[in-house]
Amino acid sequence: MSDNIYLDEARDPLIIAEGWMKDGKDVAIATVVETWGSAPRPVGSHLVIDADGNFHGSVSGGCVEGAVVTEAIDVIDTGKAKMLEFGVADEAAWQVGLSCGGRIKVYVERLG
């Protein structure tokens, strides 16, 4: 069988998250649930984060990953899911932002 010829297990965030879980790590999963304008990553994209701040995947192509990782560690600690929203940085509300001018909503939840 060669079922996985189109599934890159070494880089797939959800496969990595499962592996981390098996290793006994605490894991958070961030998912792009909505985009407006020119968002860098499509709805459904994942970033997976462990309690030490290691991460795989992407929700924005690098613009807001740092902030998502910080929030994810908090989500792992509290177990409470969060909905984050990011837009262009200079539109006041967001400390970090998307240089491309779009807006994204990211759902961050703990695995388990």
- Of 53-92, binders to other proteins (CB under 8 A) are 81, 83
Q: Rule CB under 8 A: say whether 110 interacts with other proteins.
A: yes
Q: Is 34 or 52 the residue whose CB approaches other proteins more closely? A: 34
Among 26, 29, 47, 73, binds other proteins (CB under 8 A): 29
Minimum CB–partner distance for residue 73 and other proteins (Å): 16
15 near other proteins (CB under 8 A): yes
Distance of CA 23 to the CA centre of its chain: 20
Alpha-carbon gap, residue 18 to 34, rounded angstroms = 24
Query: Taking the CB of residue 33, how many other CB atoms lie within 10 A of it?
Result: 15
Q: How far apart are CA 82 and CA 35, in angstroms?
A: 16
Type of residue numbered 67? A
Backbone phi and psi for residue 28, each to the nearest 5 degrees, phi listed first? -120, 150
**17, 47, 49, 76: residue in contact with other proteins (rule CB under 8 A):** 17
- Residue linked to tokens 């592996």: 19
Per CB under 8 A, residues contacting other proteins are 1-7, 9, 12, 14-15, 17-18, 21, 29, 31, 33-34, 42-44, 81, 83, 107, 109-112
